[in-house]
Amino acid sequence: MTGTTMTAAPVRGIPVDPPPAVVSPVVYLLHFDQAYRHAGHYTGWTSDLRARLADHAAGRGSRLLAVVRAAGIGWRLARTWPGGRDRERALKRQGGASRRCPLCGVRPRLTVGGEDRR
């Protein structure tokens, strides 16, 4: 798609300057501008982050994001981690997405070699 430009402000969840498409799997955390019922975040994984964010912005790919879009609630990409489905499942099993969200005031831990230093 030539000639496509991003607007100066986020539009329904698409960041102003989305990160370049990634080849390796990445887990991502989306922060909702306001909670939708019980949900304030969405965690997913993809091998093409830019395309996946565009799908979410169009209301495709996730029922929760489609409902959030229909409710007029915006969202932002809050954080990413290296890894695929296994990492996504591990993060979801831990629960508490707001504890990992820098937009909720949480500061990510320093990492060494992609793993948390504890």
Is residue 11 in a domain?
A: no
Tens digits of residue pLDDT in 36-88: 888 889 999 999 999 999 998 888 888 999 999 999 999 999 999 999 999 99
Is residue 15 in a domain?
A: no
Is residue 69 in a domain?
A: yes
Is residue 3 in a domain?
A: no
The pLDDT assigned to 59 comes to 83
Is residue 8 in a domain?
A: no
User: Residue holding tokens 């969202």?
Assistant: 75
The structural domain count of the chain equals: 1
| pLDDT tier at 6, thresholds 50, 70, 90 | very low
Is residue 47 in a domain?
A: yes
Residues β-bridged to residue 45:
27
The answer to whether residues 55 and 61 touch, using CB atoms and an 8 Å cutoff, is: yes
Domain that holds residue 58: 26-112
Is residue 4 in a domain?
A: no
Is residue 13 in a domain?
A: no
* Core vs surface per residue 69-102: b (16+ CB within 10 A) or e: beeebbbbbbbebebeeebbeebeeeeebbebbe
pLDDT of 16 over the 90 cut: no
